[in-house]
Structure 1
Amino acid sequence: MPASQKPKVTLWEFFQSLGKTFMLPVALLSFCGIMLGIGSSLSSRDVISLLPFLGHPACQLLFTWMSKVGSFAFSFLPVMFAIAIPLGMARDNKGVAAFSGFVGFAVLNLATNFYLTASGVLPSSDPLVLKAHNIQNVLGIQSIDTGILGAVLVGIIVYLLHERFNTIRLPDALAFFGGTRFVPIITTLTLGVCGLVVPLIWPWFAAGINGLGWVINGAGAFGPMIFGSGERLLLPFGLHHILVALIRFTDAGGTLDVCGHSVSGALTIFQAQLSCPTTHGFAESATRFLSQGKMPAFLGGLPGAALAMYHCAKPENRHKIKGLLISGVVACVVGGTTEPIEFLFLFVAPFLYLIHAILTGLGFTVMALLGVTIGNTDGNIIDFVVFGILHGTATKWYLVPLVAAIWFAAYYAIFRFAILRFNIKTPGRDSDNAGSAAHASSGTVGQSGYNVPAILSALGGAGNIVSLDNCITRLRLSVADISKVDDAALKENRAIGVVRLNAHGLQVVIGPQVQSVKDELDSLIAASRPAAELSGATHV
C-alpha cells in the first residue's frame, strides 16, 4: 500500500504508539533495578552478619559491580526516553530517528544553559540558586532538569520532524544534506530554539505535574488505589503506560531528597535509595505505587481466577485448557505479565475485569496501609525475593504471602460464582470451540510455537498489513481493510483476544511470545511483497 494512501494516525493511536515506546527503557530499567537490588542487598551489613561468607572481598567486588552497572539506567533515564520514543514511533530509518533523539536532547539542554548563562543565572554553584531554578547536571550540562516529561517532549518533537523531513529533497547544491541527513540538522535548529523557551514555560509544566501529584497524594490511602485501578482500566486500550510513566518518573509520584539530590517519581526515588549507601530502608511514599501493590493480584488473585476458570470448564475440556491457564499463571507470577489471563475473561465478562481492576487497586492500598516497602516495577516473584526478602524484615515482605492468599480466595470465590451463575463462556465452557485458544490449527508451526502463516491469513494476508509492531504481549497493527480480519480464525490459532480500535487499528493479544510471532510475520510479509511496496507499507 503506497505511503500516500496510509490511513492517518488518530490521536488514540498516537498515544498508544507513544506508550508502547516507553517499554524499551522501562524493560532495561527493570533489569537494572534487579541488578542494583541484588548488589545493594547482598552487600548490606545485615545480610553479611547473617551470611558471613558474603563478606569475602571477591563477593563484595561482584556485588559492588552489580550495583554500579544497575545504576546506569537510573542515571541516564531521560536521555534513554528521548532516544527510545523516536526509535519506536518512526516508520522508516529508525536508526536516524534514534540518533536525532540524542542530538535533540543534548541540544535542548545546551540551549537552556545558554539562556541561563545569558540571563545571569549561570555560572553558579550556590545550592539555593540551583534549587530555585531546578538546575542540575544533565549529560554534564548545567540545565533545568525537565526529567522524563522533558525527554518525552523531545522524543515526540524529533519523531514529528523525522516523519516530515526524512525523505526531503534539497537543491543539487545542497543535496548532500538532504534525506535522512537533514533530520538531525533540523532537529538541532528546532530543539535549539525550544531550549531557549524552556526556562520561560517549564515552571507551568512543573506546576501542572505538581498539581496532579497533589490530587493523588491528597487522596491519602486511596491514592494508590486510584493509580492501581486506573492502570488496569487503561490496560485494554494500551494507554496504561502514560499513567505509569507519570507516577514513576515525574513529581506526580512524589519528590524526595536522596543522598543530597532532589529526586522525583516513585521509581526513581526507590532506585536512588537503592544506590545511596547512607539510606536505610525505602520511602513508603514511593513504594506504595510500585511492585508491592501489584503482588496481591499478581501472586494471589489472578492464579485464583485461573483455578476458578479451570474448575468451571467442562470436565472433558479441562485437559485442553490446562496448558493455556498454566502458562498464563507462570507469565503472571514469574514475569509479571498479566494479559494472558486477563484477556481470557475481559471480553466475555467485562464486569469481572472491572472487579479485577478494583481489587488490584485495593491491593495497592492495603499494602500501603500495612507499611510494606517493596519496590521495582513488575510485582512478580522475582521482585518479591530481590526487593523484599533479600532486604530483610524491614520491608515487611512476610505480609505478602498472607495478603496474596486472601486475594487468591477472594478471586476464586468471585470468579467461580460469576462464571456459574451467569454462564460466562470462559475457556472450556463452550463445547463447540473449547480449547481453541489452547491449541493451534494444523499447519506450519515456527520457532514461536504458533502457526504464523495461518495468523497472517486471518489478518487478511500480507497485502492487508499497513503497519506492524508489538508491545509486551500484543501485536499492534494498522490494516487496509479491517473487514478482512477473521477474529475467530485468530483465536483458533491461539490468539487470546482481538481488539478493534477503529476502521484500521487492530491489536491481537498473543502473550509472552509475541516478539517471536511478530518477527515471523515480518519474514512472511517480506517474502510475499516486492521490496518497493514493503518499504512504503510496513514499519518495524
Structure 2
Amino acid sequence: MMQKIQKFGGAMFTPVMLFAFAGVVIGFGTLFTTEVIFGPLAAPGTMWYGVWNVILQGGWTVFNQLPLLFAVSLPIGLANKQNARCCMEALVGYLTFQYFVSTMLSQWGGFFGVDFAAEVGGTSGLAMIASIKTLDMGMIGALAVSGIIIAIHNKFYEVELPEWLGVFAGSTFVYIITFFVMIPVAFAACLLWPHVQDGIRAFQGFVATTGTLGVGVFAFLERALIPFGLHHLMYSPFYYDNAVVDGGIYTAFATALPQIAASTDSLKELAPYAAFTCSSWSKIFGCPGIALAFYATAKPEKKKELLSLLIPITLTAIFCGVTEPIEFTFLFIAPPLFIVHCVLAALLAMAINMVGCVGVFAGGLIEISSLNFIPLMANHWQQYAMTLVVGLVFTAIWFVVFRFLIVKFDFKTPGREDDAEQVKFHSKAEYRAAKNGELASGATADVDEADPYAVMAAGVLELLGGADNIVDVTNCVTRLRVNVKDETLVADDPDFKSIGTSGIAKNGKGMQVIIGLKVPKVRDRFEALL
C-alpha cells in the first residue's frame, strides 16, 4: 500500500512542475500592469498595459485550469501502458463526468441541496471547468475521477474483442466503460460532495484559528514527510486546492497580487491564508547553515573536495528550491540531524509568520521573487527586510546547532568519513565520469556513452538489480521512483552516490533514487533500457 501511495504522490506532482514558470509570468505581468508602481504607463488602455496584460492572462492558463490539468496529467505517472492514450481517455472521461454532474444539478439541484442558479465561486460550491458549470471539486475531484479512468485503462485497454467489434477496441473500449461508470460516479458526487464542501469550509475556519502554531506544525510535517515521498500529499490540498482558501493558496494569492501591491497594510492582514506556503525559508536560510556546518566539521584534507559538492547543491536549494541533494547527504547517515532540521524549519516558519510576512514562499528564490519581492517590494519592503534579518539569525542557529551535534555525537556527515570508509559519493572523479558519459565498471552495455543521462540511467538500473527486477517506474521533480520485485538485489546508498546521484531512499520494495532536476531525462533513458 505504501508503494502505491508513494507512486500516486509522485504522479500527481507532474503538472506542478509547470507552476514555477507560470508563477514567474504572473509575477512580472502583475508588476508591469500595476498602476501604483508604474504610474500612468501601466494605466488600462495604454499600449504598455495591453501588451503586458496579454502576457499576464496567458500566464493564468495553468492556474485557471488546475482540475483539468491534474486530471489529464495523472496518467503520465500511473498508466501501466500507452500513457499518451490514457491521457486522452482521462480528458474525455473527465469532461463527460462534468457534463453528467452539470446536467444532474441543473435538473435536480434541489434534491441534492445545491442552488445551481447561483453564480460560480464564493460560497456557492460551483465552478466553471472547460466552460461547464459544475460542482467545485477542485484537485481532489479531478484526481479521483482520473484515478478511476486510469484503473479502467490498465484493466481493459488490451482486452481482445471479436474481429467484427475491433473498431471498439483499445481507447474506444476504455471510453465506453468509462462513460457508463461515470454516471453513478457523477450521481455520488452530486449527493456527497456538497457535504464535503461543508466540511472543507469548517476546516478552513479551524485552520484560520490555529495561527502561528498551526504554521509551525505544517512546516514540520512538510519537511518530515520528505524521506517517505509523501510531502506532496501533505501540501497539495493547501497550495492547489480549497483546504485553506477557495482555489488554493497559489491561485488566491496570485489573483490578489494587484490589491496587495497597492496596499500598505501588513501582508498577514491582506492574505492570512498564505501563511502556509512557507517551505522556502528553510531552503533559503537553513541549507546554507547546514552546508557551513558540514564544511566546518570536515577533515582538513577533505574540505576542498567537499566544497566542490556543497556549493552546487546549496545553490540549487536556494535558487531552485530543490533540497533533496543536500538533505539526503545526512538523512540516512545521521537521522537525528534531520529531525532537528525539521524542528528548526518549523521554528523559522513560525518566527517569520510572527513578523507578518506571508505569501507564496514554497519554491526557490527565483520563483518567490517573481510572485512576492518584485511586485510587492515597493509597499512591503519593511517586512521583507525584517524577514531577511530573522532568516540570517536562523542560518547562524542552524550552523551552531548542527556543528555542535556533529562534533558531540561524531556523526559521519560528508567530509568526516573514516579513511577506511571512503564514500564514493565524495569522489569528484567518479561524479565527473557520470556527468561526462564515462561508464562505471560493470555498467550496462549498449549504452550511448556520449549521453550522460543514458549513462546514469544504466548505472541506476544496474544498482536496482537489473531490468528483470523492475516492476514500474515514475518520477517527481527530483526523484526516480521505482518499485522492485526483490529489494535485496538493490545496492546501498553509497553505490548510488558513486554514479552521480544524491543517494537512494528505500521503503520496502519502493525505491526513490535522488537524481535532481534532470530526472525526467534520466527516466526516459531508464525506460528505454527496460
Question: TM-score w.r.t. structure 1 length?
Answer: 0.86
Aligned-partner residue type, residue 413 of structure 2? T
Q: Give yes or no for the alignment of 1:501 onto 2:522.
A: no
Which residue in 1 is equivalent to 2:446?
none
Which residue in 2 is equivalent to 1:272?
255
Which residue in 2 is equivalent to 1:538?
none
Call closer, same or farther: CA 1:345–1:449 in 2, change over 3 Å: farther
Q: How does 1:138-217 map to 2 (within 5 A)?
A: 138-217=129-208
Structure-1 separation of matches of 2:173 and 2:361: 40
Residue 464 (structure 1) aligned to one of 461, 469, 479 = 469
Which residue in 2 is equivalent to 1:94?
83
Which residue in 2 is equivalent to 1:482?
487
Q: How does 1:268-347 map to 2 (within 5 A)?
A: 268-274=251-257, 283-290=270-277, 293-347=278-332
Structure-1 separation of matches of 2:243 and 2:299: 47
Residue 375 (structure 1) aligned to one of 360, 364, 368 = 360
Aligned-partner residue type, residue 215 of structure 2? P
Structure-2 separation of matches of 1:453 and 1:189: 44
**Is the 1:298–1:380 contact (alpha carbons within 8 Å) kept by the matching residues of 2?**
no
Structure-2 separation of matches of 1:415 and 1:459: 32
Deviates more, 1:97-106 or 1:372-381: 372-381
Call closer, same or farther: CA 1:410–1:217 in 2, change over 3 Å: same
Aligned-partner residue type, residue 2 of structure 2? W
Residue 38 (structure 2) aligned to one of 27, 39, 48 = 48
User: Cα offset for 1:239?
Assistant: 0.7
Aligned-partner residue type, residue 497 of structure 1? G
Structure-1 separation of matches of 2:110 and 2:346: 44
Call closer, same or farther: CA 1:460–1:269 in 2, change over 3 Å: same
Per-residue CA shift, 1:234-284, capped at 9, x if unaligned?
A: 111111111111111333223xxxxxxxx3322221122237899858643
Residue 420 (structure 2) aligned to one of 422, 425, 432 = 432
SS at match of 2:97: helix
Aligned-partner residue type, residue 499 of structure 2? N
Aligned-partner residue type, residue 270 of structure 1? F
Which residue in 2 is equivalent to 1:26?
16
**Is the 2:219–2:345 contact (alpha carbons within 8 Å) kept by the matching residues of 1?**
yes
Structure-2 separation of matches of 1:454 and 1:278: 50
Which residue in 1 is equivalent to 2:96?
107
Structure-2 separation of matches of 1:278 and 1:486: 52
User: Cα offset for 1:105?
Assistant: 1.8
Aligned-partner residue type, residue 63 of structure 1? W
Per-residue CA shift, 1:73-131, capped at 9, x if unaligned?
A: 11111111111112321111111211121122211221112212222659988547986
**Is the 2:463–2:495 contact (alpha carbons within 8 Å) kept by the matching residues of 1?**
yes
Which residue in 2 is equivalent to 1:82?
71
Structure-1 separation of matches of 2:197 and 2:221: 22
Which residue in 1 is equivalent to 2:444?
none
User: Cα offset for 1:331?
Assistant: 0.9
Structure-2 separation of matches of 1:327 and 1:38: 27
Q: How does 1:417-456 map to 2 (within 5 A)?
A: 417-430=404-417, 431-434=419-422, 436-438=424-426, 439=428, 440=430, 443-444=438-439, 446-448=451-453, 451-456=456-461
**Is the 1:43–1:64 contact (alpha carbons within 8 Å) kept by the matching residues of 2?**
yes
**Is the 2:119–2:126 contact (alpha carbons within 8 Å) kept by the matching residues of 1?**
no
Question: TM-score w.r.t. structure 2 length?
Answer: 0.87
Identity fraction in percent: 28
Aligned-partner residue type, residue 481 of structure 1? D
Call closer, same or farther: CA 1:348–1:210 in 2, change over 3 Å: farther
Deviates more, 1:361-370 or 1:374-383: 374-383
User: Cα offset for 1:132?
Assistant: 6.6
Per-residue CA shift, 1:122-170, capped at 9, x if unaligned?
A: 9988547986752232221221111111111111111111111111122
Which residue in 2 is equivalent to 1:394?
379
User: Cα offset for 1:180?
Assistant: 3.0
Structure-2 separation of matches of 1:386 and 1:128: 29
Aligned-partner residue type, residue 472 of structure 2? S
Aligned-partner residue type, residue 42 of structure 1? F
Structure-2 separation of matches of 1:65 and 1:24: 26
Q: How does 1:397-416 map to 2 (within 5 A)?
A: 397-416=384-403
Residue 233 (structure 2) aligned to one of 232, 242, 259 = 242
Aligned-partner residue type, residue 147 of structure 2? I
Structure-2 separation of matches of 1:353 and 1:36: 35
User: Cα offset for 1:191?
Assistant: 1.5
Aligned-partner residue type, residue 168 of structure 1? V
Aligned-partner residue type, residue 38 of structure 1? F
Call closer, same or farther: CA 1:125–1:456 in 2, change over 3 Å: closer
Residue 59 (structure 2) aligned to one of 67, 70, 82 = 70
Structure-1 separation of matches of 2:43 and 2:288: 35
Call closer, same or farther: CA 1:414–1:131 in 2, change over 3 Å: closer
**Is the 2:41–2:48 contact (alpha carbons within 8 Å) kept by the matching residues of 1?**
no
**Is the 1:82–1:155 contact (alpha carbons within 8 Å) kept by the matching residues of 2?**
yes
Unmatched 5+ stretches in structure 1:
1-10, 255-262, 527-540
Aligned-partner residue type, residue 84 of structure 1? S
**Is the 1:324–1:437 contact (alpha carbons within 8 Å) kept by the matching residues of 2?**
no
SS at match of 1:118: helix
Q: How does 1:226-241 map to 2 (within 5 A)?
A: 226-241=217-232
Call closer, same or farther: CA 1:325–1:129 in 2, change over 3 Å: closer
User: Cα offset for 1:325?
Assistant: 0.9
User: Cα offset for 1:72?
Assistant: 0.8
**Is the 1:270–1:376 contact (alpha carbons within 8 Å) kept by the matching residues of 2?**
no
Aligned-partner residue type, residue 335 of structure 2? P
**Is the 1:96–1:183 contact (alpha carbons within 8 Å) kept by the matching residues of 2?**
no
SS at match of 1:428: coil
Structure-2 separation of matches of 1:53 and 1:137: 30
Call closer, same or farther: CA 1:276–1:110 in 2, change over 3 Å: farther
Unmatched 5+ stretches in structure 2:
440-448
